[in-house]
A = this chain, B = another copy of it.
Protein backbone atom coordinates (compact mmCIF):
# COMPACT_ATOMS: atom_id res chain seq x y z
CA UNK A 1 0.00 0.00 0.00
CA UNK A 2 1.34 3.40 -1.01
CA UNK A 3 -0.34 5.28 1.86
CA UNK A 4 1.67 8.16 3.34
CA UNK A 5 0.10 10.13 6.20
CA UNK A 6 1.24 12.76 8.67
CA UNK A 7 -1.46 13.04 11.34
CA UNK A 8 -0.91 15.92 13.74
CA UNK A 9 -2.76 16.34 17.04
CA UNK A 10 -2.83 20.13 17.07
CA UNK A 11 -1.92 22.99 14.73
CA UNK A 12 -0.45 25.24 17.37
CA UNK A 13 1.46 24.29 20.51
CA UNK A 14 1.37 26.64 23.51
CA UNK A 15 4.02 29.33 23.12
CA UNK A 16 4.64 28.68 19.41
CA UNK A 17 3.21 29.77 16.08
CA UNK A 18 1.00 27.95 13.57
CA UNK A 19 2.51 24.50 12.81
CA UNK A 20 5.87 25.59 14.30
CA UNK A 21 6.18 22.52 16.51
CA UNK A 22 6.04 20.15 13.56
CA UNK A 23 7.58 22.04 10.65
CA UNK A 24 10.64 19.81 10.47
CA UNK A 25 8.33 16.81 10.17
CA UNK A 26 6.30 18.58 7.47
CA UNK A 27 9.43 19.24 5.39
CA UNK A 28 10.62 15.68 5.70
CA UNK A 29 7.15 14.36 4.90
CA UNK A 30 6.45 16.41 1.77
CA UNK A 31 10.12 16.34 0.67
CA UNK A 32 10.73 17.67 -2.82
CA UNK A 33 7.18 18.03 -4.06
CA UNK A 34 6.04 21.43 -5.25
CA UNK A 35 2.37 22.08 -4.43
CA UNK A 36 0.03 21.17 -1.61
CA UNK A 37 -3.76 21.25 -1.88
CA UNK A 38 -5.15 22.81 1.30
CA UNK A 39 -8.66 22.11 2.62
CA UNK A 40 -9.87 25.00 4.86
CA UNK A 41 -13.45 23.74 5.31
CA UNK A 42 -13.19 23.37 9.11
CA UNK A 43 -13.08 27.13 9.71
CA UNK A 44 -15.65 29.73 8.72
CA UNK A 45 -13.28 32.28 7.19
CA UNK A 46 -11.68 30.21 4.46
CA UNK A 47 -9.75 33.06 2.84
CA UNK A 48 -8.03 34.03 6.08
CA UNK A 49 -7.35 30.39 6.88
CA UNK A 50 -5.83 29.68 3.47
CA UNK A 51 -3.65 32.78 3.76
CA UNK A 52 -2.29 31.66 7.11
CA UNK A 53 -1.57 28.16 5.82
CA UNK A 54 -0.03 29.56 2.63
CA UNK A 55 2.35 31.78 4.57
CA UNK A 56 3.53 28.80 6.59
CA UNK A 57 3.89 26.45 3.62
CA UNK A 58 5.63 29.08 1.49
CA UNK A 59 8.16 29.52 4.29
CA UNK A 60 8.86 25.78 4.03
CA UNK A 61 9.31 26.02 0.25
CA UNK A 62 5.88 24.77 -0.93
CA UNK A 63 3.17 26.39 -3.02
CA UNK A 64 -0.28 26.06 -1.49
CA UNK A 65 -3.59 25.99 -3.39
CA UNK A 66 -6.77 26.19 -1.37
CA UNK A 67 -9.58 23.93 -2.53
CA UNK A 68 -12.16 26.66 -1.83
CA UNK A 69 -10.60 28.71 -4.65
CA UNK A 70 -10.90 25.82 -7.13
CA UNK A 71 -13.70 25.95 -9.74
CA UNK A 72 -14.12 22.18 -9.34
CA UNK A 73 -13.10 20.81 -5.93
CA UNK A 74 -13.28 17.19 -7.14
CA UNK A 75 -10.93 17.95 -10.01
CA UNK A 76 -8.58 19.68 -7.55
CA UNK A 77 -8.44 16.46 -5.52
CA UNK A 78 -7.99 14.32 -8.65
CA UNK A 79 -4.94 16.34 -9.70
CA UNK A 80 -3.46 17.09 -6.27
CA UNK A 81 0.19 16.34 -5.67
CA UNK A 82 -0.38 16.38 -1.89
CA UNK A 83 -3.28 17.15 0.45
CA UNK A 84 -3.37 19.00 3.78
CA UNK A 85 -6.64 19.23 5.71
CA UNK A 86 -6.47 21.82 8.47
CA UNK A 87 -8.14 21.91 11.89
CA UNK A 88 -11.25 23.68 13.13
CA UNK A 89 -14.67 22.16 13.63
CA UNK A 90 -14.75 18.48 12.66
CA UNK A 91 -18.52 18.37 11.99
CA UNK A 92 -18.38 21.38 9.68
CA UNK A 93 -15.38 19.87 7.91
CA UNK A 94 -16.85 16.43 7.34
CA UNK A 95 -20.21 17.84 6.23
CA UNK A 96 -18.47 20.00 3.66
CA UNK A 97 -16.37 17.06 2.41
CA UNK A 98 -19.59 15.08 1.90
CA UNK A 99 -21.43 18.05 0.37
CA UNK A 100 -18.65 18.32 -2.20
CA UNK A 101 -18.48 14.53 -2.74
CA UNK A 102 -14.82 14.42 -1.77
CA UNK A 103 -14.69 11.66 0.84
CA UNK A 104 -14.29 8.72 -1.54
CA UNK A 105 -12.08 10.73 -3.93
CA UNK A 106 -9.59 11.62 -1.20
CA UNK A 107 -9.55 8.03 0.04
CA UNK A 108 -8.79 6.74 -3.44
CA UNK A 109 -6.09 9.32 -4.14
CA UNK A 110 -4.30 8.58 -0.88
CA UNK A 111 -4.68 4.80 -0.71
CA UNK A 112 -4.39 3.98 -4.41
CA UNK A 113 -2.30 6.79 -5.87
CA UNK A 114 -0.06 7.39 -2.86
CA UNK A 115 -0.81 11.10 -2.61
CA UNK A 116 0.70 12.27 0.71
CA UNK A 117 -1.95 13.35 3.22
CA UNK A 118 -1.36 15.64 6.15
CA UNK A 119 -4.08 16.33 8.69
CA UNK A 120 -4.12 18.52 11.75
CA UNK A 121 -6.67 18.24 14.56
CA UNK A 122 -10.05 18.05 12.71
CA UNK A 123 -8.06 17.11 9.57
CA UNK A 124 -6.66 14.21 11.55
CA UNK A 125 -10.10 13.19 12.84
CA UNK A 126 -11.55 12.93 9.34
CA UNK A 127 -8.68 10.73 8.14
CA UNK A 128 -9.73 7.91 10.48
CA UNK A 129 -12.64 5.47 10.64
CA UNK A 130 -15.09 8.02 12.00
CA UNK A 131 -15.36 11.37 13.72
CA UNK A 132 -16.91 9.71 16.77
CA UNK A 133 -13.91 10.65 18.92
CA UNK A 134 -13.64 14.32 18.05
CA UNK A 135 -13.76 16.88 20.88
CA UNK A 136 -15.72 19.35 18.80
CA UNK A 137 -19.21 20.72 19.23
CA UNK A 138 -21.73 19.28 16.73
CA UNK A 139 -22.56 22.66 15.18
CA UNK A 140 -23.59 21.04 11.87
CA UNK A 141 -24.88 17.57 11.06
CA UNK A 142 -22.95 15.59 8.43
CA UNK A 143 -24.85 12.81 6.65
CA UNK A 144 -22.71 10.23 8.47
CA UNK A 145 -19.99 10.12 11.13
CA UNK A 146 -18.01 7.73 8.89
CA UNK A 147 -14.89 9.48 7.71
CA UNK A 148 -12.25 9.04 5.01
CA UNK A 149 -10.91 5.84 6.54
CA UNK A 150 -7.21 6.08 5.73
CA UNK A 151 -6.43 4.04 8.85
CA UNK A 152 -8.49 1.32 10.60
CA UNK A 153 -8.68 3.10 13.96
CA UNK A 154 -9.86 6.40 15.44
CA UNK A 155 -7.80 9.27 16.84
CA UNK A 156 -8.58 11.66 19.66
CA UNK A 157 -6.52 14.79 19.02
CA UNK A 158 -5.68 17.38 21.72
CA UNK A 159 -5.82 14.55 24.25
CA UNK A 160 -5.94 15.99 27.74
CA UNK A 161 -5.11 14.13 30.93
CA UNK A 162 -7.56 14.59 33.77
CA UNK A 163 -6.52 17.31 36.21
CA UNK A 164 -7.06 15.82 39.70
CA UNK A 165 -7.39 19.37 41.14
CA UNK A 166 -10.34 20.16 38.88
CA UNK A 167 -13.75 20.72 40.47
CA UNK A 168 -15.52 20.52 37.10
CA UNK A 169 -17.91 17.57 36.95
CA UNK A 170 -18.21 17.15 33.17
CA UNK A 171 -16.73 13.88 31.90
CA UNK A 172 -12.95 13.69 31.49
CA UNK A 173 -11.56 12.90 28.06
CA UNK A 174 -10.72 9.40 29.26
CA UNK A 175 -14.30 8.85 30.46
CA UNK A 176 -15.64 10.00 27.10
CA UNK A 177 -13.44 7.58 25.16
CA UNK A 178 -14.36 4.75 27.52
CA UNK A 179 -18.06 5.57 26.87
CA UNK A 180 -17.32 5.21 23.15
CA UNK A 181 -15.95 1.74 23.79
CA UNK A 182 -19.11 0.74 25.64
CA UNK A 183 -20.65 0.58 22.17
CA UNK A 184 -20.19 -2.58 20.08
CA UNK A 185 -17.67 -2.88 17.24
CA UNK A 186 -15.81 0.31 18.04
CA UNK A 187 -12.21 0.55 16.79
CA UNK A 188 -9.18 1.42 18.92
CA UNK A 189 -8.69 5.10 19.75
CA UNK A 190 -5.20 6.56 19.61
CA UNK A 191 -5.22 9.58 21.93
CA UNK A 192 -2.59 12.07 20.76
CA UNK A 193 -1.60 14.67 23.35
CA UNK A 194 -0.86 18.14 22.01
CA UNK A 195 2.65 18.04 20.51
CA UNK A 196 2.23 14.48 19.28
CA UNK A 197 1.92 13.23 15.70
CA UNK A 198 1.66 9.95 13.85
CA UNK A 199 3.62 9.18 10.69
CA UNK A 200 2.22 6.40 8.51
CA UNK A 201 4.22 5.07 5.57
CA UNK A 202 2.61 2.10 3.91
CA UNK A 203 2.10 -0.40 6.71
CA UNK A 204 4.47 1.26 9.15
CA UNK A 205 3.22 3.72 11.78
CA UNK A 206 5.52 5.70 14.05
CA UNK A 207 4.71 8.05 16.90
CA UNK A 208 6.59 11.36 16.64
CA UNK A 209 6.72 14.69 18.45
CA UNK A 210 7.48 15.98 21.91
CA UNK A 211 4.72 14.26 23.90
CA UNK A 212 3.40 10.73 24.27
CA UNK A 213 0.15 9.03 23.33
CA UNK A 214 -2.36 6.67 24.93
CA UNK A 215 -4.06 3.81 23.15
CA UNK A 216 -7.60 2.89 24.18
CA UNK A 217 -8.81 -0.49 22.94
CA UNK A 218 -12.26 -1.91 23.67
CA UNK A 219 -12.18 -4.50 26.52
CA UNK A 220 -8.41 -4.08 26.97
CA UNK A 221 -6.29 -2.02 29.35
CA UNK A 222 -5.24 1.42 28.16
CA UNK A 223 -1.56 1.57 27.14
CA UNK A 224 0.86 4.52 27.13
CA UNK A 225 3.25 4.82 24.15
CA UNK A 226 6.33 7.03 24.10
CA UNK A 227 7.35 9.15 21.15
CA UNK A 228 9.32 7.01 18.68
CA UNK A 229 7.14 3.95 19.30
CA UNK A 230 6.33 1.66 16.39
CA UNK A 231 2.53 1.47 16.20
CA UNK A 232 2.36 -0.49 12.95
CA UNK A 233 0.21 -3.13 14.65
CA UNK A 234 -2.64 -0.60 14.57
CA UNK A 235 -2.71 -0.77 10.78
CA UNK A 236 -3.73 -4.41 10.73
CA UNK A 237 -7.41 -4.44 11.58
CA UNK A 238 -7.54 -7.39 13.97
CA UNK A 239 -10.92 -6.75 15.48
Known contacts A44-B179, A133-B137, A137-B135; is-contact A14 B168 (Cβ 8 Å):
yes
How far does the alpha carbon of A46 sit from the alpha carbon of B236 in the complex, in Å?
34
Interchain Cβ contacts under 8 Å between A and B, 29 examples: A10-B169, A11-B169, A12-B169, A13-B169, A14-B168, A15-B167, A44-B182, A88-B179, A89-B176, A92-B179, A131-B138, A132-B138, A132-B141, A133-B137, A133-B139, A135-B137, A136-B176, A137-B179, A137-B180, A139-B179, A139-B183, A140-B183, A141-B144, A158-B168, A158-B169, A158-B170, A160-B168, A160-B170, A168-B194
Instruction: Specify which of B44, B133, B137 is in contact with A132 (CB 8 Å cutoff).
Output: B137
Beyond the given A132-B137, A135-B170, A136-B171, please list 13 additional residue pairs across the A-B interface where CB-CB is below 8 A: A10-B170, A11-B169, A12-B169, A14-B167, A44-B182, A88-B179, A89-B176, A134-B137, A137-B179, A137-B180, A138-B145, A168-B194, A170-B194
Pick the 10 closest A-B CB pairs, nearest first.
Answer: A14-B167, A158-B170, A137-B176, A44-B182, A139-B180, A141-B145, A132-B138, A10-B169, A12-B169, A89-B179
Q: Please name all residues of chain B whose beta carbon is closer than 8 Å to the beta carbon of A137 when the two chains form the complex.
A: 132-135, 176-177, 179-180
Residues of B close to A139: CB separation below 8 A: 132-133, 176, 179-180, 182-183, 186
A180 to B177, CA, bound (A): 23
Bitwise, A97-111 to B at CB < 8 A (1) or not (0) is 000000000000000
Q: Which residue from chain B places its CB closest to the CB of A171 in the assembled complex?
A: B136
User: Chain A residues in contact with chain B, CB under 8 A?
Assistant: 10-15, 44, 88-89, 91-92, 131-141, 144-145, 158, 160, 167-171, 176-177, 179-180, 182-183, 186, 194
In the assembled complex, the CB of A46 is this many whole angstroms from the nearest CB of chain B, namely 12
Which residue on B lies nearest to A10, using beta carbons?
Answer: B169
Within the complex, what minimum Cβ distance (angstroms) separates A24 from chain B? Answer: 19
Residues in B with CB closer than 8 Å to A88 are 179
